[in-house]
Structure 1
Amino acid sequence: MAFLRTAFVASILAGMAVFPVAHAQTSDNGSDAEILPDAQELPQAPIEPPMTLLRMAEIIRAIDPEAQPAGNAIQFTIDDIPIVVIADPVADRMRAMVPIRSADGLDASELMRLMQANFDSALDARYAVAQGRLWGVFIHPLSPLEKDQLLSAFVQTINVARTYGQTYSGGATVFGGGDSNGIYRELLKELQELGEEI
């Protein structure tokens, strides 16, 4: 049994990307201390303010001026696809949701395919069933969410809805030389330009 578990984990790891491990450099005195440049030489990334319900609403209104707020929820559209974003500042959570279809008629093989996509191709978005519907959802802590992460969340959630029944993909990473990566990048760039000042 232990062998089967080890073989399973090894097969999973073999299919995943492997990132090179950085090695510490040896200093002049022979120690293995890592040599870092002076703090002044390190590039300083701009610090974004924490994401709040108000800031999120401003970003969404830059994308869709007709967005409809209702309490802690905002409904809007991107490329004629309806999106609902719900945020709970007390729990520090948010979720973006796109309705896909009725959950009626989802058989075991389709549910299995959705679970497979949640593991590898849906990326940060997920397929989920609630209230008798199949949804594309993205769930994240609210306050640490950066603007570009939020925009990427919208694109990925739209993509899992669009690709349902086909590639079941969140769209940010697609294997092969197809057109999907270009389409994803183009939509993300459009959204970034709309919300540039926020």
Structure 2
Amino acid sequence: MPRLALALLIALATPLSAQNTPAPEAPTIEAEPPMTMVRMAEIIRAIDPEARPAGNSIQFVIDDIPLVVIADPVADRMRAMVPIRSAAGLSQDELMRLMQANFDSALDARYAVAQGRLWGVFIHPLSPLEREQLLSAFVQTINVARTYGQTYSGGATVFGGGDSNGLYQELLEELLEKGEEI
């Protein structure tokens, strides 16, 4: 076999890493900074400039629905909450339906009972929470409140050909746009 053909055959059979060819650089992905109380407050104020901080909580409004976010940086936890109704008078059937929704349709938001009220809540570790996740938390929590007594849905994933998914997506996009700078 002529030398040139042998050299070409060896070159083609040799892995690229063995040919001293530098590997292409992996694209760099900028990680978001950790979520803090200050950063979360900035995101919330971009959504509602009239948001009211009080200690480790912030109260604000999205689409005429009041939300409360409570965070504990020491425990590295946050909770977004929407009051739905008094817990007094919830029947066994209703409580069962709420538990079923927590399993399949409420998504990352949940129905919960505390202080005599039924709440829509989203609970997450604080520091790894990303901006889009926070905004999605607000949308899902609002949606479990809006759909209480009907579909009991967090709204981020809706199966079927209805209009609901588009409405939920519009709210998420609106919140993303308001918080774009953060």
TM-score by length of 1: 0.79
Paired amino acid for 1:113: R
SS in structure 2 at match of 1:181 = helix
Give the match for residue 168 of structure 1.
152
SS in structure 1 at match of 2:44 = helix
- Find out whether 1:145 has 2:129 as its counterpart: yes
Paired amino acid for 2:123: I
Alignment of 1:94-133 (within 5 A): 94-133=78-117
How far is the alpha carbon of 1:177 from its aligned partner?
0.8
- Find out whether 1:54 has 2:38 as its counterpart: yes
Measure the CA separation in 1 of the matches of 2:28 and 2:172.
24
- Residue by residue, what CA displacement relative to the aligned partner does 1:166-198 show, whole Å, maximum 9, x if unpaired? 000000011111111101110000001101111
Give the match for residue 183 of structure 1.
167
Paired amino acid for 1:53: M
Report the count of equivalent residues. Answer: 162
**Which runs of 5 or more residues in structure 2 are unaligned?**
1-12, 15-22
Give the match for residue 79 of structure 1.
63
Q: Which has the higher contact order (CA 8 A, sep 6+)?
A: 2
How far is the alpha carbon of 1:45 from its aligned partner?
2.7
Measure the CA separation in 1 of the matches of 2:165 and 2:28.
29
TM-score by length of 2: 0.86
Give the match for residue 156 of structure 1.
140
- Find out whether 1:136 has 2:120 as its counterpart: yes
- Residue by residue, what CA displacement relative to the aligned partner does 1:144-187 show, whole Å, maximum 9, x if unpaired? 00000000000000000000000000000111111111011100
Report which of the two structures shows the higher radius of gyration computed on alpha carbons.
2
The worse-fitting range, judged by mean Cα deviation, of 173-182 and 79-88 is 173-182
SS in structure 1 at match of 2:32 = coil
Paired amino acid for 1:122: A
Change (3 A) 1:39 1:165: farther
Structure 1: 4+ residue segments shifted above 3 A:
none
- Residue by residue, what CA displacement relative to the aligned partner does 1:89-143 show, whole Å, maximum 9, x if unpaired? 0000000000000001100000000000000000000000000000000000000
Superposition CA RMSD, Å: 1.3
